[in-house]
Amino acid sequence: MRFARWLKIPVSPIAGPAHWSFVMNKPVESLPAEKLEYLKRRTDKYFTKSRQIIERFGDRTVTYGVFLRRGVICAVNPAIDALRTYYPQSAEPLKITRLYEEGAFVPDQMAIFTYSGSFAALVELETLILQRIGVACVSAYNAYKMATNLKKVAFIDMHARHSPGDDLSLLAAYGASVGSRMAKLNGAVGFVGSSQDLTAHFYGQEKGVGTMPHGIIGYAGSTLRAAQMFVETHPRDNLTVLIDYYGREYSDALEVCRWWYNETLPKDLSGARALALRIDTHGERYAEGLDYEKSVEIVVKWLHVPNEYEAVRYVMGEEAFDADSLNIVKDRVRKVLFGTGVSVASVIQLRQTLDASGFNACKIVGSSGFNLFKCKMFANSRAPLDVVGTGSFIPDNFNDTFATADIFMYDGKPGIKLGREKLFQGLKP
């Protein structure tokens, strides 16, 4: 699939003889009217005015380099596709040089790719290109780190509700799929699906996945009745049930399991459907029956350490624990391990409750704030999660997504803004 298509860019194939040459001072009007209008309405105005200056005083061949100010995973196909789509066929040949393959780690302030061609034809494309770099690359990095930390856990992309629209959703999901693919090469389960049909194809699926929001639990009047209503409406689907709506996570989990394994599954001739329980406890309360002291007790026993202090040390690692002299990170770790919401303790308690009643086959889905840090702490705690539903791979600091494209050569000769020389040192057109 062409990225320009899914980003709603009007597309036409780029093709033409290699001997095309650019005619000096000829206005860049060779794009189809629809594409030209799309470009002019979206580019920064100073680029349009710059094109008019170049057309008046003469074109030059320029070479751009693109970089980000933080380490990322390379996920630039959407940007390169936009570049190829909007570069006029009548201009001098466009040359794109990848410096990193898709999925490779890119250190901060290192050029990711370069591109050369007519200045008049390229100057207005900078806005569109840069819009398609940062979100995808940062999402790829975050998804990779999350999946490699929790290698045995399957991830579901649930970022859609946090996105302002389709463009960001598609870029973020594409990035997550690139990061996930690299994590899978390192033995991780990675991302296996999306909550949207729109982005499902990035994860090898035709449709999105999901069962019920909290609203259906309230609508049904009980967690069990919501599960029954879902099965009656979607009799062939696997079932994932939210268990935190009424604050009876473990009681409702057992009630649903008894109904599923004793009444529903025996009637299923295929026996192929599976049950999972999703815990999404509100961040300002503890799961059923837990408090801080009880949570500490659960985690300490799970990790086979003597006390809370050693549990935090175990999860953080010796060096990180000792380096955190102000206890800032330790407090964050305590929150994940023993705090309110979906904590390590609450997930351990759920697994042990299910297993004690013979429901070992039931899977556990965790959601609510599973960002890089939380995934790392859950991994270090060996928390018994099977699936994580998360949208927290999207950038939490939007400044991280700000990409820059600088011209560093004019007509094959070096020329760069003072202070940026080192970024492009040794690069060629």
Per-domain residue ranges of the chain: 3-133+403-424, 138-390
CATH number for the domain running over 138-390: 3.20.20.70
Identify the weakest region by mean pLDDT among 37-41, 61-65, 136-140, 223-227: 37-41
Average confidence (pLDDT) over 33-57? 92
| Residue-wise pLDDT tens digits, 316-326 | 999 999 999 99
Residue 427 pLDDT grade (very low, low, confident, very high; cuts 50, 70, 90)? confident
Does the pLDDT at position 23 exceed 90?
A: no
Task: Enter the tokens of residue 268.
Answer: 């299923």
- Report residue 21's pLDDT band, with 50, 70 and 90 as the boundaries: very low
pLDDT in tens, 1-14: 444 444 444 443 33
Strands 95-98 and 190-194: unpaired
Q: Which residue, 404, 334, 344, 412, is CA-closest to 378?
A: 344
- Of 53-57, 178-182, 265-269, the range with the lowest mean pLDDT is 265-269
Report the run of H or E that residue 13 belongs to, with start and end. Answer: none
- In this prediction, residue 29 has a pLDDT band, given cuts at 50, 70 and 90, of low
150: region left, alpha or beta (phi > 0 left; psi from -120 to 50 alpha): beta
Summarised one tens digit per residue, pLDDT across range 120-139 is 999 999 999 999 999 999 99
Dig out the tokens for 371 from the structure.
């960002």
**Average pLDDT value over all residues in the chain:** 91
> CA–CA separation, 152 vs 326, rounded Å?
33
The answer to whether the beta carbons of residues 332 and 374 sit under 8 Å apart is: no
At 11 the three-state DSSP class reads coil
Nearest to 68 by CA among 102, 26, 105: 105
Q: Is the pLDDT of residue 20 over 50?
A: no
pLDDT tens-digit map of 340-378: 999 999 999 999 999 999 999 999 999 989 999 999 999
In total, the chain counts a number of residues equal to 429
Q: What CATH number matches the domain at 3-133+403-424, 3.40.50.80, 3.30.1310.10, 3.40.50.2300, 3.20.140.10?
A: 3.20.140.10
**Closest listed residue to residue 227, CA positions, set 246, 242, 244:** 242
Six-digit token pair at 325? 């002299």
Report the 3 state secondary structure along 194-250: ECCHHHHHHHCCCCCCCCCCHHHHHHHCCHHHHHHHHHHHCCCCCEEEECCCCCCHH
8 Å CB contact between 155 and 143: yes
Distance, in Å, from the CA atom of 101 to the CA atom of 243, rounded to the nearest integer, reads: 43
Nearest to 143 by CA among 394, 400, 384: 394
- In this structure, the dihedral spanned by the alpha carbons of residues 318, 323, 328 and 333, taken in order and rounded to 10 degrees, is -10
pLDDT at residue 36 in the model: 86
- Given this model, what pLDDT does residue 330 score? 96
The pLDDT assigned to 55 comes to 94
Mean pLDDT, to the nearest integer, of 262-283? Answer: 90
* pLDDT at site 266: 87
- What is the distance between the alpha carbons of residues 310 and 366, in angstroms, rounded to a whole number? 25
